[in-house]
Amino acid sequence: MKIAITGATSGIGKEKVKALAPLCEQMFLLVRDEGKAKDLIQSLPSHQEKISVIYCDLSDLSSVANAASTLSHKTDQLDVLINNAGGIFPEKSITTDGHELTFCVNHLGHFLLTYLTLPLLISGNGAKIINVSSEAHKAANINQNDLELKNDFSSFKAYANVKLYNLLFTKSLAEKFSDKKIEAYALHPGVVNTNFGTQSKGIFKFLLFLAKPFMIGPKKGAQTGIYLASAQMHSLSNGGYYKKRKLAKAKKDASSKKLRDLLWQYSIAQIQPFLENK
HEC string of 206-235 equals HHHHHHHHHCECHHHHCHHHHHHHHCCHHH
* Catalytic-labelled residue, pool 159, 165, 185, 242: 159
Contact assessment for residue 221 and residue 15, using Cβ atoms and an 8 Å cutoff = yes
Strands 241-243 and 246-247: antiparallel
Amino acid sitting at position 188: H
- First and final C-alpha spacing in the chain: 26
Three-state SS for 105?
helix
DSSP-derived secondary structure for 232-272 = -GGGS-TT-EEETTEE-PPPGGGG-HHHHHHHHHHHHHHHG
Q: Is 242 exposed, middle or buried (0-12, 13-18, 19+ CB in 10 A)?
A: buried
Question: ∠ CA(94), CA(11), CA(40), 5° rounding?
Answer: 105
Whether 159 is catalytic is yes
Strands 51-55 and 26-31: parallel
- Residues involved in catalysis: 159
